Structures are given as structure tokens and as C-alpha cells.
């Protein structure tokens, strides 16, 4: 029976190939456009560490001075996203979280000991050892540093695969030494390609090239040439060197904790509030208790990582898909109506309503499937164009493969997206096809036979 | 059912066309805003010291002398950040010590000749003098010293003091900390630091230029050349810079025009994407209208023949089909106007834009009407050419 239906469908398509091509083209363009928009959105909106979404938390303390009437920030209810150094250091001491990591990032020159080599200006992240286990960072060679390295027992560094290849070539560089911002560090580990997008742990650099060096936080004091974006709410000034930041009341340090159970979360929450209360009593914190532990998705949302621009584009693309579906509905209606005499003849010869309807539905599904395939092709083409456009606009091809990785994933069609587009085309085909098929099935056969 | 579908299509198309046109026009306005800078003739070069022998002050002094003496160079200065990027320093200033009226501004530390280098137009007062340029204290915020001379843009002068004239000689307070004030000595007409609003701010043209040698180890220079000399001088400087002072290396170099164009890339890209989408929408809708008219003409050939046979002219037939199409489009336009306004309201909240100006609504109405007539014209003409004899033929 299915075979018979398919044969009828193909004959009907052949009879009016122009309309068939139009239908396929319209749905395909609609699907292609939506898939491109959704992919771009998905890359930005995606949670790159969804499997740990409910155990990783960004720690925020409301250390701001009493509100000033001219507070112009968009979300005055949010506590500052970074911490004052002395608070961060105190909170980091807590034994409640399974893991915790302090972090800071700064660009600095990195090179080898060979005086002839040109240093590169790369981002270095000062952090603590739990960073690697918390965020499931894959190692290519070597390993993370030890607890005693956290306290400064040796000057070690973990570097990215990209930096390792740039400095030492495609070899295992563990044991080599490099110079970062005037200090010598021994390579202890090399991480494999790791480009979580958006870079959830540092949303300020959510779509920027990856971190290339990871250095024990301890060494922030000796790396005196690095500059950090510190802001002092009390004096409304910014301060940038660690020497001045460390004793100040300026915010600049990030803190992430891993809390693996509800009990742990509650205990830590209590600890945080107690700490803030102590500071209130000491008159350091002037605002009512407003501490937050944001999980990854909340954190991304607070930082507005997904541009409203891409939301807008997705909405537009979906409206466009709706227009395409309406269009196809009209086309199918016209197509089926022009083939109605044949359907009437079939009915007269004994085909039931269900038969006629099914035959037309099969035709719709065939058209929908072709349109879906063409649509995915169009989406791939569109995404490739986006990538070309990205590089063409950024003027900086290929210096950093991580930059390429950003472009790559911005325009990468993964299995999930293909599934979405197949789903979309099925839905589109059904939405456009059910009514015409039902209508043609319902017609009294005599209506058509009369004219002949 | 057919007409209903078409009207719905027209309505949705209008929603997209009106709103997309509005957003694109805003993007284009952002990217074409005048900067006040001599973009085409400026390049920047950034170097970074390495090793303990490096001294920022001597390096900058030496480099500036070298750059300013190069034939073809109009002026050069050291700066704390590159204009037309988003990494300028933000700070808050006020015209009164109590910080009653305060403005968020962008601040650039620059050595003398900054106004000449950027190609800005001084409209009031004077530039700051060479002997007021002091080394920026390492690490601290603005590097503004008490009583120092600064230059501001007219946009900022107007906001704080009402006019350019009134701003000259006034104190500019940099923080609520005591004594942190400078004196305004000059006002420049315009400096647009970045092409459009930085996220959450709206002050990209309220700027303070502070006389200071930015702290190291990065040294950034802006160089303005005579027209036509830029690329030539740029490659010469890159070649000579490291050998002049071997304890530093060149980080990056780029023409300011390229930097500015990169800063506009995102806006331009989104404008292109949206324009492509809008053109798809328009063509699909026109296709629908065309298809409907063509189907109507084909299935009603006999009716046309009959009408022609009993005296209807070709123009009558043409009018009939165009009118049918026009009615559908108009129904779509009426519904579409309501939807467009509703969608625009959501949009203005999502993208934080002012309300949709009526011109976009009216424009998209006109566009949809014109597109509808155009799409129906060919089938309608075909219908008009059906000979009356058709009526007499058997089906």
C-alpha cells in the first residue's frame, strides 16, 4: 500500500514539477534560515558545562557601599560579580566546597628563554589547582599542579596546546621553561583543545581567544607588570596593579566553588551569610544581606551573555518559517485542487476518504523530506558564509587557532542541530500539508466528476 | 481559505519588514557616525618592554622624538588606549566637588600634541602644554593629578557646564576623594571614541584627554601622517622600532581605519544578515501572491471568457484580478499594522531601542502594497489576454 501511495505521489509531483520545486524551495529556504539563526543562538546560549550546571557556583558578596542615588547600573539588585581580595582569600579558606578556585586574568608577554624569540602577548590566568578538576579540563601531557604548588613551592605553569606548539613545536613540552611577564615558569602540564563557549567562568571574555597559560594564584604578587581591571566602589576609581589592589577595597577577583549536595550548598550559603554579617558588623559592608551563589546557567543569564541581538534573529527566522509554511499551505492547496478530478475519480472507483487523504499526505511527506534535506544543505552553506564573513571582518586570519575555534563553533552544525532541523522540516511539512490533504479527502467525488 | 492564508502571510511579512528596516537603519546610523578623528591618516603601534633594563619613561620619550621627526609624520603621541576600540578607560567625573551632577566618561591619557595627532578640532581654549605631561602613577586609575590641565569634548562640556565657553577654567572632579580635580583648558568639537554605545552606557562621545605618559610596560603610540604616507611610514616604523631599542618588542600595529572598521563589523554583519532575511521574506510573499493570482486566472479562464464575451474590456479583467489581490493585501496590511506595532513594542524592550518611528510602518505598508500589485500584474495581464472565444469552447 505504501508503495502504491509513493507511486501516486511521484506521479503527481511529475505532473506539476514547477509547483513541486516551488514548494521544496520555499520550505527549504525557511528551514535553512531558521537553522542558521538557531545554531548561532545555540552556540551563544549553550551551557558548555551543562553536566555540572547544578554543582558549580559563582560566589558573589554585596560589598558595595550604601546606595548612591545616582546609581546608573542596569541591575542595581545584583551584587558585584567579583570580590575584594581579602574577602576572596577568606572565602577560599573554607573547607565546605568539594573544590574551589580563585581566578584573575591578564595579558602579558610570553616567550622562551631563547633571547632571539619574539614574545607573544597572550592571556594568562592566575588560578588555583582545583580549576582543572572543577571544569573538567582535558590534559594532553602532564597534569595539574599540586596543593603545595598552590602555596608557592615551585614556579610552574600549565599551558594550552596552542601555546605549547607555538613555543616548543609539536612535542611534549612538559619540563620546558618559559618566561611570562619577566618571570620564569616550568611547564608542568599541557591541556588539550578546550574551548568552552561561551567561556562561562569568565564572561567578560566569553567569546574571546582562550586562555593560554594557567599559573598558580600565589605568583600574582611577583608578576608585578600585569594589570587587572579593579574597581573601587567607595572612591569611584579604578586600580590595576595587584600591589595596590590587594590591600584595597576594590573588587577584581573571581571565585568559583563546587558544591556537590544540597546539604553542602546550604552549609556554604550559611557560611557566606555569616561572613557577610561579620563584615556588616565591622562596618565594611553597608548594604543589607545580598549574597548570591549563581549556578552556571544563572550566571550566564545575569551577565546577559546571549545577546538580545541573536534572540531577535531567532524570532525573525521563526516568523519567516511561519510565512514559508503559510505559503506552502497555499501552494499545496492549489496543487491538490488542480489534481482534484483525479482524486474524485479514485473515490468513485472505491477509494475511501482515508485512502485519498493518506495518498496526499505521503506526497506532502516526500516533498517535506526533500525540502528538509535541501534546507540542511542551505544551512550548512549559510553557516559557512557566516564563518567566511567572520574572518573577513575580523581582519585577522589564523594567528590563533583558538580564534578559529571561536569562528568554527559559531558556525558549527552539530548532531543536535541536525536533529532540530529534521524536526523542523517534519513539522513544517505536516503543518503545511495536513489541511490540504484533509480537505481533498473530504470532498464529495461527484463535485469533480460532474465537470468532466 | 487561500485568501486568508495570503493575508496572514502579508501581515507577518509586514511585521518583519518594518522592524528589520528599523533595526538596520539604527545599525547603519551607528556605523556611519562621524568620529571627529582623521581616521584615514592615523596608525597605531604598540610595543612592550621585556627584561629589567626596560624603562617606560625613557622609551616613550625617545620614541616620540623619533616618530615626530620622521618625514611625512604630522604628529605622534603616546596614549593609554586605542580610540575606536572598546578598551578605553571608564570613569566618573563631576563639575562640582560634591558629585551632584555626574557623568560617566571615557578617559585617555595622552602625551602632548594629542589633539594634532587625533586630528580633532579645538573649538575653545587651548591644548594642554608639554610641561604638564607627567608620568602616570603606575596602576592607579586615571593618573590625574591635582590641578592638572585637561581637554574635554564639547558633548561633555555641554552636559556639565552648559556651554564650551563656560567650561574653560572650570574644575573637573574625578572622584569623591578630596582634591582629585583637574582644570579644563580646552574643548574639542567632537570625538566619537567607539562607533556605538558600549553595552549599558551611552557616553562614547563624552571624553576627557589627560596629559600623562601611560604606565608600562606596554607603550602605545598614535601616529598621524600626511595623506598618502600612512602605509609607507607604518612599515618603516615597524622595521626600525625594535632595533632602535632592543629591550622591547612590537606587539601589534594597525591603521586606525582598519581598527574602526573592525569595531563596526558586528553592527554591519547584523545589518547584512537582517537585510538578507528581509529580502527572503519579501520574495516568498511575492511568490505567494503571484501563485494565488496565477491559480485564480488559470482556474477561471472560462469565467473570463464569458465576461469578455458579454462585453467586459481587457482593462476590466485586469482591474478585477488586481482588485482581488489588492483586497487580500489590504486585509493583510490592516492586520499586519497591528501586529507590527505589538511586535515593535516587544522589540524595543528586548533591544532597548526607542519606539518604532511611524515612517517604518507606513513605508512597509507601501512596500507590501506595491509588491502585491507587482506580483499579481503578470497573471492579471495573462487573464486580460484570454480571448472571448474561450467561453464557447468545451472544457
DSSP notation for A26-91: HHHHHHHHHHHHHHHHHHHH--TTGGGTTTEEEEE---PPSPPTT---S-TTSPPSSEEHHHHHHH
**Contact (CB, 8 A) for B136 and B213:** yes
Does A398 have pLDDT greater than 50? Answer: no
B17 touches chain A (CB under 8 A): no
**Contact (CB, 8 A) for B17 and B364:** yes
Percentage, residues of chain B above pLDDT 70: 92
Where residue A396 falls among pLDDT bands split at 50, 70, 90?
Answer: low
Residue A152 region by backbone torsions, left for phi larger than 0, else alpha for psi between -120 and 50, else beta: left
Cell triple for residue B148? 592638572
Is there a single domain that holds both residue A285 and residue A360? no
Mean local confidence (pLDDT), B151-165:
92
> In this structure, how many other beta carbons lie within 10 angstroms of the beta carbon of residue B369?
16
What is the per-residue pLDDT across A314-354, written as a single tens digit (0 to 9) for each? 888 888 888 888 888 888 887 887 777 777 788 888 888 88
Mean local confidence (pLDDT), A290-313:
82
**Contact (CB, 8 A) for B211 and B149:** yes
Residues B101, B104, B106, CA angle at the centre, nearest 5°?
140
Chain B contact set for A72 (CB, 8 A): 104
Place of cell 476590466: B316
Chain centre to alpha carbon of residue B116: 25
Is there a single domain that holds both residue A199 and residue A247? yes
| Cis, peptide link before residue B237, omega less than 30° from 0 | no
Chain centre to alpha carbon of residue A100: 23
Of A148 and A226, the structure prediction assigns the larger pLDDT to A148
pLDDT of residue B1: 64
Percentage, residues of chain A above pLDDT 90: 27
Mean local confidence (pLDDT), A5-17:
79
Is there a single domain that holds both residue A125 and residue A9? no
Chosen domain end from A260, A275, A302? A302
Beta bridge partners of B44: B222, B254
pLDDT of residue B97: 81
Average pLDDT of chain A is: 83
Task: Compare CB distances from B269 to A33, A311, A393 and report the shortest one's residue.
Answer: A393
**Contact (CB, 8 A) for B172 and B13:** no
How far is it, in rounded angstroms, from Cα B267 to Cα B195?
A: 9
What is the per-residue pLDDT across B96-116, written as a single tens digit (0 to 9) for each? 887 788 888 888 999 999 999
B4 touches chain A (CB under 8 A): no
Average pLDDT of chain B is: 86
**Contact (CB, 8 A) for B321 and B297:** yes
DSSP A201: G
Where residue A72 falls among pLDDT bands split at 50, 70, 90?
Answer: low
Mean local confidence (pLDDT), A10-28:
82
Does A256 have pLDDT greater than 90? Answer: yes
pLDDT of residue A158: 96
The answer for A 142-171 residues in CB contact with B (under 8 A) is none
pLDDT of residue A274: 94
Beta-carbon contacts of B308 under 8 Å, excluding residues fewer than 6 positions away, are: B314, B317, B386, B387, B388, B390, B391
Q: Do A74 and B200 touch (CB under 8 A)?
A: yes
Is there a single domain that holds both residue A378 and residue A351? yes
The answer for B 301-340 residues in CB contact with A (under 8 A) is none
Task: Compare CB distances from B262 to A225, A334, A393 and report the shortest one's residue.
Answer: A393
Mutation site for A-interface testing, chosen from B81, B103, B141 by largest number of A Cβ within 10 Å? B141
Task: Compare CB distances from B175 to A109, A235, A304 and report the shortest one's residue.
Answer: A235
User: A123-132, A196-205, B352-361: which range is least confident on average?
Assistant: A196-205
How far is it, in rounded angstroms, from Cα B10 to Cα B375?
A: 12
Cell triple for residue A56? 558549580
How far is it, in rounded angstroms, from Cα B281 to Cα A320?
A: 6
Where residue A74 falls among pLDDT bands split at 50, 70, 90?
Answer: low
Backbone angles phi, psi at B215, to 5 degrees: -75, 155
User: A184-188, B40-44, B341-345: which range is least confident on average?
Assistant: B341-345
Is there a single domain that holds both residue A116 and residue A218? yes
For residue A161, give the nearest of A199, A128, A122, A135 by alpha carbon. Answer: A122
Is there a single domain that holds both residue A285 and residue A348? no
Mean local confidence (pLDDT), B159-182:
82
For residue A321, give the nearest of A375, A366, A267 by alpha carbon. Answer: A375
Residues spanned by the domain of A294: 52-302
Is there a single domain that holds both residue A336 and residue A366? yes
Does B149 have pLDDT greater than 70? Answer: yes
For residue B5, give the nearest of A432, A371, A192, A22 by alpha carbon. Answer: A432
Mean local confidence (pLDDT), A66-88:
79
Beta-carbon contacts of B273 under 8 Å, excluding residues fewer than 6 positions away, are: A313
What is the per-residue pLDDT across B49-65, written as a single tens digit (0 to 9) for each? 877 788 888 999 999 99
Is there a single domain that holds both residue A152 and residue A227? yes
DSSP A182: T
Does B83 have pLDDT greater than 70? Answer: yes
Where residue A107 falls among pLDDT bands split at 50, 70, 90?
Answer: confident
How far is it, in rounded angstroms, from Cα A266 to Cα A273?
A: 11
Does A411 have pLDDT greater than 70? Answer: no
pLDDT of residue A236: 67
Chain A contact set for B90 (CB, 8 A): 238
How far is it, in rounded angstroms, from Cα B240 to Cα B65?
A: 14
> Closest-CA residue in chain A for B265?
A393
CA A77 to chain B, closest CA, distance in angstroms equals 15
How far is it, in rounded angstroms, from Cα B371 to Cα B17?
A: 12
User: What is the number of CB-based contacts under 8 A between chain A and chain B?
Assistant: 150
Strands B149-153 and B181-188: what pairing? parallel
Q: Do B270 and A309 touch (CB under 8 A)?
A: yes
How far is it, in rounded angstroms, from Cα A437 to Cα A423?
A: 20
Mean local confidence (pLDDT), B181-191:
92
The answer for A 91-110 residues in CB contact with B (under 8 A) is 109
Exposure pattern of A22-58 as b/e (b: 16+ CB <10 Å)?
bbbbbbbbbbbbbbbbbbbbbbbbbbbbeebeebbbb
> In this structure, how many other beta carbons lie within 10 angstroms of the beta carbon of residue B242?
14
Chosen domain end from A302, A337, A352? A302
What is the per-residue pLDDT across B296-316, written as a single tens digit (0 to 9) for each? 888 888 888 888 888 888 899
pLDDT of residue A49: 83
Is there a single domain that holds both residue A243 and residue A335? no
Does B246 have pLDDT greater than 90? Answer: no
pLDDT of residue B39: 92
Of A155-169, A239-253, B341-355, where does the model show the most confidence? A155-169
CA A143 to chain B, closest CA, distance in angstroms equals 29
What is the per-residue pLDDT across A139-173, written as a single tens digit (0 to 9) for each? 999 999 999 999 988 999 999 988 998 899 889 99
Mean local confidence (pLDDT), A123-136:
93
pLDDT of residue A228: 85
Task: Compare CB distances from B16 to A26, A111, A319 and report the shortest one's residue.
Answer: A319
Mutation site for A-interface testing, chosen from B180, B274, B288 by largest number of A Cβ within 10 Å? B288
How far is it, in rounded angstroms, from Cα B347 to Cα A140?
A: 46
What is the per-residue pLDDT across A188-213, written as a single tens digit (0 to 9) for each? 999 988 878 778 898 777 777 778 99
How far is it, in rounded angstroms, from Cα A299 to Cα A305?
A: 9
Of A141 and B274, the structure prediction assigns the larger pLDDT to A141
Mean local confidence (pLDDT), B176-190:
82
Where residue B175 falls among pLDDT bands split at 50, 70, 90?
Answer: low
Does B364 have pLDDT greater than 90? Answer: yes
Does B170 have pLDDT greater than 70? Answer: yes
> In this structure, how many other beta carbons lie within 10 angstroms of the beta carbon of residue B94?
21
Strands B207-213 and A139-142: what pairing? unpaired
Strand, coil or helix: A200: helix
User: A78-87, B165-174, B196-205: which range is least confident on average?
Assistant: B196-205
CA A69 to chain B, closest CA, distance in angstroms equals 10
Is there a single domain that holds both residue A312 and residue A286? no
Is there a single domain that holds both residue A235 and residue A290? yes
Mean local confidence (pLDDT), B67-76:
95
Residue B43 burial (10 A CB sphere; 0-12, 13-18, 19+): buried
pLDDT of residue A44: 67
Is there a single domain that holds both residue A251 and residue A320? no
**How many domains does the structure of chain A reveal?**
2
Residues B144, B147, B151, CA angle at the centre, nearest 5°?
65
Task: Compare CB distances from B92 to A236, A244, A338 and report the shortest one's residue.
Answer: A236
Does A380 have pLDDT greater than 90? Answer: no
Q: Do A309 and B351 touch (CB under 8 A)?
A: yes
Q: Do A73 and B200 touch (CB under 8 A)?
A: yes
pLDDT of residue A352: 82
Mean local confidence (pLDDT), B17-45:
90
SS (H, E, C) chain B: CHHHHHHHHHHHHHHHHHHHHHHHHHHHHHHCCCCCCCHHHEEEEEEEECCCCCCHHHHHHHHHHHHHHCCCEEEEEEECCCCCCCCCEEEEEECCCCCCCEEEEEEEEECCCHHHHHCCCEEEECCCCHHHCEECCCCECCCCCCCCEEEEEHHHHHHHHCCHHHHCCCEEECCCCCCCEEEEEEEECCCCCCCCCCCCCCCCCCEEEEEEECCCCEEEEEEEECCCCHHHHHHHHHHHHHHHCCCEEEEEEEEHHHHHHHHCHHHHHHHHHHHHHHHHHHHHHHHHHHHHHHHHHHHCHHHHHHHHHCCCCHHHHHHHHHHHHHHHHHHHHHHHHHHHHHHHHHHHHHCCCCCCCHHHHHHHHHHHHHHHHHHHHHHHHHHHCCCHHHHHCCC
pLDDT of residue A397: 45
Does B199 have pLDDT greater than 60? Answer: no
CA B140 to chain A, closest CA, distance in angstroms equals 5
A225 touches chain B (CB under 8 A): yes
Chosen domain end from A259, A286, A302? A302
> In this structure, how many other beta carbons lie within 10 angstroms of the beta carbon of residue B351?
16
Amino acid at each position: 500500500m505504501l508503495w502504491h501511495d509513493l507511486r501516486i505521489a511521484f506521479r503527481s509531483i511529475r505532473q506539476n514539477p514547477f509547483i513541486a520545486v516551488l514548494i521544496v524551495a520555499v520550505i527549504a529556504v525557511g528551514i535553512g534560515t531558521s537553522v542558521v539563526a538557531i545554531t548561532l543562538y545555540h552556540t551563544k546560549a549553550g551551557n558548555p558545562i551543562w553536566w555540572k550546571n547544578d554543582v558549580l557556583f559563582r560566589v558573589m558578596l554585596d560589598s558595595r557601599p550604601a546606595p548612591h542615588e545616582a546609581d546608573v547600573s542596569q541591575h542595581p539588585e545584583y551584587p558585584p560579580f567579583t570580590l575584594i581580595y581579602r574577602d576572596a582569600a577568606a572565602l577560599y579558606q573554607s573547607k565546605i566546597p568539594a573544590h574551589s578556585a580563585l581566578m584573575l586574568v591578564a595579558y602579558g608577554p610570553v616567550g622562551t628563554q631563547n633571547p632571539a624569540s619574539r614574545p607573544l602577548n597572550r592571556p594568562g590566568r592566575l588560578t588555583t589547582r582545583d580549576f582543572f578538576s572543577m571544569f573538567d579540563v582535558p590534559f594532553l601531557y602532564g597534569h595539574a599542579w599540586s596543593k603545595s604548588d598552590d602555596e608557592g613551592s615551585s614556579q610552574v605553569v600549565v599551558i594550552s596546546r596552542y601555546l605549547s606548539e607555538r613555543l616548543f613545536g609539536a612535542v611534549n613540552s612538559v619540563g620546558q621553561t618559559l618566561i611570562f611577564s619577566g618571570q620564569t615558569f616550568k611547564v608542568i602540564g599541557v591541556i588539550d583543545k578546550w574551548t568552552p563557549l561561551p567561556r562561562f567562568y569568565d564572561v567578560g571574555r566569553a567569546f574571546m581567544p582562550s586562555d593560554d597559560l594557567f599559573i598558580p594564584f600565589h605568583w600574582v604578587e611577583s608578576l608585578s607588570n600585569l594589570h587587572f581591571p579593579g574597581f573601587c566602589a567607595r572612591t569611584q576609581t579604578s586600580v590595576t596593579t595587584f600591589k595596590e589592589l590587594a590591600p584595597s577595597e576594590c573588587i577584581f577577583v573571581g571565585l568559583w566553588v563546587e558544591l556537590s549536595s544540597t546539604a553542602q550548598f546550604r552549609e556554604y550559603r550559611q557560611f557566606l551569610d555569616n561572613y557577610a554579617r561579620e563584615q556588616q558588623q565591622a562596618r565594611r559592608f553597608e548594604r543589607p544581606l545580598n549574597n548570591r551563589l549563581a549556578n552556571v546557567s544563572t550566571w550566564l543569564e545575569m551577565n546577559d551573555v546571549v545577546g538580545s541581538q541573536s534572540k531577535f534573529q531567532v524570532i525573525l527566522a521563526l516568523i519567516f518559517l511561519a510565512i514559508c509554511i503559510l505559503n506552502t499551505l497555499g501552494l499545496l492547496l492549489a496543487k491538490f485542487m488542480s489534481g482534484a478530478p483525479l482524486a474524485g475519480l479514485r473515490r468513485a472507483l472505491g477509494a475511501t476518504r482515508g485512502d485519498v487523504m493518506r495518498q496526499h499526505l505521503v506526497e506532502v511527506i516526500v516533498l517535506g523530506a526533500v525540502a528538509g534535506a535541501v534546507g540542511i544543505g542551505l544551512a550548512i552553506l549559510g553557516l559557512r558564509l557566516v564563518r567566511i564573513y567572520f574572518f573577513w571582518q575580523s581582519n585577522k586570519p589564523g594567528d590563533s587557532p583558538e580564534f578559529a575555534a571561536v569562528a568554527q563553533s559559531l558556525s558549527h552544525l552539530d548532531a543536535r542541530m541536525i536533529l532540530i532541523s529534521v524536526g523542523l522540516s517534519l513539522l513544517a511539512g505536516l503543518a503545511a500539508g495536513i489541511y490540504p490533504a484533509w480537505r481533498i479527502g473530504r470532498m464529495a467525488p461527484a463535485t469533480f466528476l460532474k465537470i468532466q | 481559505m487561500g485568501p486568508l492564508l495570503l493575508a496572514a502571510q502579508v501581515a507577518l511579512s509586514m511585521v518583519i519588514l518594518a522592524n528589520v528596516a528599523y533595526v538596520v537603519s539604527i545599525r547603519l546610523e551607528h556605523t556611519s557616525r562621524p568620529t571627529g578623528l582623521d581616521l584615514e591618516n592615523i596608525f597605531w603601534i604598540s610595543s612592550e618592554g621585556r627584561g629589567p633594563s626596560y624603562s617606560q619613561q625613557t622609551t616613550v620619550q625617545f620614541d616620540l622624538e623619533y616618530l615626530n621627526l620622521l618625514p611625512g609624520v604630522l604628529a605622534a603621541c603616546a596614549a593609554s588606549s586605542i580610540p575606536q576600540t572598546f578598551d578605553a578607560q571608564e570613569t566618573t567625573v563631576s563639575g562640582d566637588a560634591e558629585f551632584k551632577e555626574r557623568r560617566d566618561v571615557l578617559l585617555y591619557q595622552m602625551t602632548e600634541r594629542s589633539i594634532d595627532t587625533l586630528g580633532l578640532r579645538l573649538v575653545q581654549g587651548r591644548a594642554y602644554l608639554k610641561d604638564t605631561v607627567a608620568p602616570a602613577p603606575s596602576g592607579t586609575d586615571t593618573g590625574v593629578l591635582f590641578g592638572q590641565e585637561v581637554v574635554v569634548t564639547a558633548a561633555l562640556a555641554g552636559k556639565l557646564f552648559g556651554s564650551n565657553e563656560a567650561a574653560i577654567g572650570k574644575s573637573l572632579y574625578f572622584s569623591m576623594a578630596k582634591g582629585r580635580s583637574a582644570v579644563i583648558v580646552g574643548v574639542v568639537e567632537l570625538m566619537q571614541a567607539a562607533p556605538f554605545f558600549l553595552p549599558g552606557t551611552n557616553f562614547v562621545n563624552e571624553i576627557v584627554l589627560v596629559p600623562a605618559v601611560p604606565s608600562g610596560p606596554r607603550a602605545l603610540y598614535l601616529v598621524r601622517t600626511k595623506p598618502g604616507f600612512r602605509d609607507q611610514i607604518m612599515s618603516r616604523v615597524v622595521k626600525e622600532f625594535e632595533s632602535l631599542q632592543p629591550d622591547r618588542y612590537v606587539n601589534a600595529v594597525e591603521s586606525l581605519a582598519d581598527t574602526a572598521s573592525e569595531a563596526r563589523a558586528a553592527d554591519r554583519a547584523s545589518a547584512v544578515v537582517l537585510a538578507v532575511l528581509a529580502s527572503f521574506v519579501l520574495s516568498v510573499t511575492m511568490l505567494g501572491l503571484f501563485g494565488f493570482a496565477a491559480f485564480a486566472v488559470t482556474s477561471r479562464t472560462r469565467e473570463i471568457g464569458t465576461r469578455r464575451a458579454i462585453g467586459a474590456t481587457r482593462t476590466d479583467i485586469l482591474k478585477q484580478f488586481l482588485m482581488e489581490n489588492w483586497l487580500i493585501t489590504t486585509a493583510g496590511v490592516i492586520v499586519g499594522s497591528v501586529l507590527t506595532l505589538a511586535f515593535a513594542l516587544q522589540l524595543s524592550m528586548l533591544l532597548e531601542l526607542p519606539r518604532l518611528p511611524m515612517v517604518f510602518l507606513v513605508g512597509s505598508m507601501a512596500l507590501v502594497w506595491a509588491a502585491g500589485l507587482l506580483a499579481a500584474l503578470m497573471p492579471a495581464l495573462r487573464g486580460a489576454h484570454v480571448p472571448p472565444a474561450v467561453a464557447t469552447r468545451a472544457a
